[in-house]
């Protein structure tokens, strides 16, 4: 399972401020924070926002090793309007990786390691071939939690044309000493085809108030998490 290189400390980093504005009228004092997908080829990359906009990193003063398909929180300053096939050229101030995974099968052999501990669902949405989940869980210091979106092969799903998946969390026996929050993105492109991009997903989760189902349609949107930036910087990094 992949380690999470997350999250949100960059949101509270001090940003460099400049007194000038560029020729396109964008102030270098301004910045935006958005979820994006890294589109990479070798060491070159660009950012694609969940609303479809493409950002070219024309300036950046930190090292970042891009991974194609990696979901990130991007802190950036707009430098220009549309040009050369990109909606904006930007200065990338900071990037923070979001745990990004694929859907896996839940089987008899892996059901114990995948687990099914309680979670609190804060937000769930589809964007850019990803189902994104912000959730809470109980934990203690020094424990790593596993999170997965699974195709449950041990049960039969209704034959209604929808895709049924389970969101699973394994706390590895962590005592419930305090609550933590996290975000994860799951690539569900395997369920989307050129002929059928209007898939309805039904996500089941074992919440603290019982099993709940969340119906999500895979369609173009400008979804962003409902939780505030101030809350996001409290998120735990102890998931994979």
Q: What is the pLDDT of residues 59-85, one digit of tens each?
A: 998 999 999 999 999 999 999 999 999
Percent of the chain with pLDDT over 90: 67
Q: The pTM is what?
A: 0.83
Where does CATH 2.40.50.500 sit in the chain?
9-98
Per-residue pLDDT of 102-124, as tens digits, reads: 999 999 999 999 999 999 999 99
**How confident is the model at residue 13, as a pLDDT?**
36
Determine the topology of domain 103-232 in CATH: Immunoglobulin-like (2.60.40)
Spans of the chain below 50 pLDDT: 1-22, 229
**CB-count burial class (<10 Å; 0-12, 13-18, 19+) for 56:** buried
| Count of other CB atoms within 10 angstroms of residue 158 | 8
Where does CATH 2.60.40.2370 sit in the chain?
103-232
| CATH placement of domain 9-98 | 2.40.50.500
**How confident is the model at residue 227, as a pLDDT?**
59
**How confident is the model at residue 220, as a pLDDT?**
60
**How confident is the model at residue 173, as a pLDDT?**
94
Looking at the chain, the number of H-run helices and the number of E-run strands are 2, 13
C-alpha distances (whole Å) from 125 to each of 104, 203, 216, 224 are 19, 11, 7, 8
Determine the Cα–Cα distance for residues 219 and 237; give it in Å rounded to an integer.
Answer: 30
**How confident is the model at residue 118, as a pLDDT?**
97
**How confident is the model at residue 41, as a pLDDT?**
85
């Amino acid at each position: 399972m992949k380690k999470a290189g997350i999250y949100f400390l960059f949101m509270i980093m001090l940003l460099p401020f400049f007194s000038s504005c560029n020729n396109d009228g964008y102030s270098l004092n301004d910045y935006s924070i958005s979820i994006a997908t890294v589109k990479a080829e070798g060491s070159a990359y660009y950012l694609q926002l969940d609303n479809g906009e493409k950002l070219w990193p024309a300036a950046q003063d930190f090292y970042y090793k891009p991974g194609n398909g990696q979901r990130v929180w991007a802190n950036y300053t707009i430098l220009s309007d549309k040009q050369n096939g990109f909606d904006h050229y930007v200065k990338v101030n900071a990037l923070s990786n979001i745990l990004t995974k694929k859907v896996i099968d839940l089987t008899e052999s892996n059901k114990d390691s995948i687990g099914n501990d309680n979670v609190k669902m804060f937000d769930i949405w589809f964007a850019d071939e990803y189902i994104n989940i912000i959730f809470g869980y109980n934990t203690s210091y020094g424990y790593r939690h596993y999170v997965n979106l699974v195709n449950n092969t041990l049960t039969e799903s209704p034959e209604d044309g929808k895709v049924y998946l389970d969101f699973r969390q394994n706390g590895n026996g962590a005592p419930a000493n305090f609550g933590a929050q996290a975000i994860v993105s799951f690539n569900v492109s395997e369920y989307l085809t050129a002929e059928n991009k209007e898939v309805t997903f039904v996500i089941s989760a074992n919440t603290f108030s019982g099993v709940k189902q969340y119906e999500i349609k895979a369609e173009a949107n400008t979804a962003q998490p409902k939780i505030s930036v101030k809350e996001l910087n409290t998120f735990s990094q102890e998931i994979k």
